Each structure stands twice: as structure tokens, then as C-alpha cells.
Chain A
Amino acid sequence: MDSFELAVGDALTMPVPRAAFFDELLVALREIWEVPVVAQAPQSAGHGHWVRAGSVAAATAGAVGAGAAWYGFKRRHRRSGVA
């Protein structure tokens, strides 16, 4: 890479994630890995209907909806006033 390209790369390295974000997300990921959160079937669930079920195997088999996990993280994030 020439100096111009290095300057572009360096400029893009400016942002770093907040330490608190690193910690909170890691803890949330650990919780999800241990007790995955899965969404109920659409026909039986309204908004906010989530069940905690399954296992790591279920999670890694794709049973966990990333959207559901994300929903739970956002909710906690907002409650803690960090977002």
C-alpha cells in the first residue's frame, strides 16, 4: 500500500469501542450461549413473547433467533441507560 492508502487505513482505525460496550456485550453473549432465548411460533406469539429454552447445542444448531437475542440485549441495554 502507498502512503495515501495507509492514510486512509489509519483514518478508519480512529474509533474504538467503549470498554463498557465490550464488557456488556460479552456478558450478554455468555448468557445467550448458556440459556438461549428463542421466539415462539409467530401464530401463537404476540410482541414480547419470548421463551427461554434449549441449550448450547440448540443455539449453535441455529435454533436461537438472533433477532430474539438482540431484542433481549437491547431491552437490558436501554434499562441500564447505556445505549
Chain B
Amino acid sequence: MRADAILADMIDMTADLDDETLAARVAGDFDAFAELYRRYLCPVYRFVRSQCPDEPTAEDITAQVFFKAISSASSFRGEGSYKAWIFRIAHNSVWSWRNGRARSVIAVEEVPETVDPTPSPAAQAITKEGRGQVWRKVAELPPAQREVVALRYLQDLTVEEIAEITDRSRGAVRILLHRARSKLRSTMDGKEVG
């Protein structure tokens, strides 16, 4: 079955349901999973892409995340949010890849080539070059700091949710965020973004 046929089947039937209701239906209803996939592919991909050096690697890891999500759907008990659950899978997948590759710094020239064609109004105020500069500064952070920055500022997750996803204490997450912010501010201080 083609992707557009799959999506045509599910449209309007699942769009109004919340993540947790959809997750509970995955066992007997692929449309429920397809709707979760539609909601989370982009966020998961962006998070993964911010943690690895290139697009093919990001696609590999993102695919792993969704294979794990569908094959272990029954392990989602609804005790937390589905968003936190799938980002925990993404976190584990990124760290498995990182441990395997022993690669911790994204090469600075690897600014994404595929850029969101419909940036937010705030993003429109910043030139592509300016966004590339910020991207490079984030890419130069140590992996643990880079990860909490992406979860906080890209996904808008709370410190509590980040702690749950990364299996760290809330204090440890706050320290990582504080250090990352300080480092980013010091390197970007006085430089006009855009």
C-alpha cells in the first residue's frame, strides 16, 4: 500500500484523538499508529538531526525509533505522556548510536541542507545564515548539553519531562541546561543573529 493511500484511509478518523488514546489503539488499528507517526515524525527527526552529523544518519536513527515504537507499543502504559515515551526511545537510540560510533561533535559544516520551507514568524526575522550560526554553536556543545537544549528549546519539554526521558535527576538536567546556556551566550554574545 502506498503512503498516500494509508494517509487517505486514516484522515478524519483519528485526528481528533489525543496521543494516549491513539497509543492504546495501536495493537488493533494501524491508523492510530499512522496518526502518531504523522504527529511525531518531524519532531523526532529534528531532535535526532540535532544530535548527529548528517541526514542519512538522522534517517537511520529516526527509522529505528519508529520501528521500536510500533514493535513495543504494548510497553506504553499511559503512565506518562506518549511524547515523553517516544522521546525516551529517541534518546536511547541516539545514545546507542553514539556509543557505537564514539562520535560526540557534529562537524560544523554539517548545517542541515533540507530547511523548513515555512518557518515561524520568529524564525523569519532571523536570516538563514544567522540560524546556521546558532546551529553550529549548539552542535559544538558536549552531547549531554546538546541533548537537553534540543529537548527544552526545540520540543518545549519541561525539566521534569527531560529528566524522565534522559534518566537524569532534575538537578542534573538544570545544571546541564545552565551550562549550555552560559556557553551559548558567551560564544554568541555581542554577535548579531541574522
Contacts and interface: CB of A to CB of B under 8 A. Distances in A.
Interface size band for B = 35 or more
Interface string B112-125: 10111101101100
Interface in A47-64: 56-57, 59-62, 64
Most buried by B among A11, A12, A23, A57: A11
16 contacts: A4-B185, A10-B120, A10-B122, A10-B134, A12-B135, A15-B116, A27-B2, A27-B6, A29-B67, A30-B34, A33-B70, A56-B27, A59-B73, A60-B27, A60-B73, A66-B68
**Majority SS at the chain A contact face:** helix
**Majority SS at the chain B contact face:** helix
A9 B115 contact: no
Contact of B123 (A13, A22, A57): A13
Given A4-B188, A8-B153, 7 more contacts: A7-B131, A8-B149, A12-B50, A25-B62, A32-B70, A34-B30, A70-B64
